[in-house]
Structure 1
């Protein structure tokens, strides 16, 4: 292998290329690589932070859902209690109304019975007068003998 001027020229141009690359290109490349590494690291940190925030948000959502379910359960319990109270009140009102209606019906029955007795007394009195007039063969004046008829009706 001969060392000639071509080989020395190639070695010299390769050395100049390496010196130029080390002085001008390499710092820019390392700077770009370092910036890219920082961006990647920042992105990973942001992703980790977002993951932690998401975990916190999930915990808060689960807590809010639990609270909402508990409140819904309390509202349902209160509504059930109110429904039971309304039902009990309605039953009590119905019983009171039935008792009132029963008492009113009993009063009506008693007053009707009293009227029927009075009417019966009057009819019996009228029949007694008619019977007596037939027996006596003369007519008795009901207006003239009203006190006597009233006394007879009360005795009956």
Structure 2
């Protein structure tokens, strides 16, 4: 292998290329690589923070849901109590109304019974007077008297 001017020229130009690359190109490439590494690291940190915030938000949401369910249960209980109170009041009012109507009906029945007794007394009195009139107009005959009593009994 002969070392000639071409090989020395090539080695010299290769050395100049390496020196030029190390002095001017490599720092820019290295700087871009470092910036990229920083961006990736920041992205990973941001992702971790986002995961932590998501966990915190999930726990807050779970707590809020728990509170909302408790409030809903309390509202349902209060509504049930109010419904029961309204139902009890309506039941009490209905019983009071039934008792009032029952008392009114008993009063009506008592007054109708009293009127019926009075009418019956009047009719019995009138029939007794008629019967006495018929008995007095006829002779006192046991057979006739029995017939008149039977007739009065059928009329009563």
Shorter-chain TM-score bucket reads 0.7 to 0.9
Q: How many Å separate the matches in 1 of 2:50 and 2:102?
A: 76
Structure 2 residue 97 is the aligned partner of structure 1 residue 116: no
Name the counterpart of 2:23. 23
Question: Where in structure 1 are there 5+ consecutive unaligned residues?
Answer: 138-156
Name the counterpart of 2:76. 76
> TM-score scaled by structure 2?
0.81
Q: CA RMSD in A?
A: 1.7
Q: How many Å separate the matches in 2 of 1:131 and 1:111?
A: 30
Q: How many Å separate the matches in 1 of 2:70 and 2:135?
A: 95
Q: How many Å separate the matches in 2 of 1:87 and 1:13?
A: 105
Name the counterpart of 2:89. 89
Q: How many Å separate the matches in 1 of 2:129 and 2:21?
A: 154
Instruction: Report how many residues are paired.
Output: 138
Runs of 4+ that moved beyond 2 A: 1-4
Q: How many Å separate the matches in 2 of 1:69 and 1:2?
A: 92
Question: Where in structure 2 are there 5+ consecutive unaligned residues?
Answer: 138-156
> TM-score scaled by structure 1?
0.81
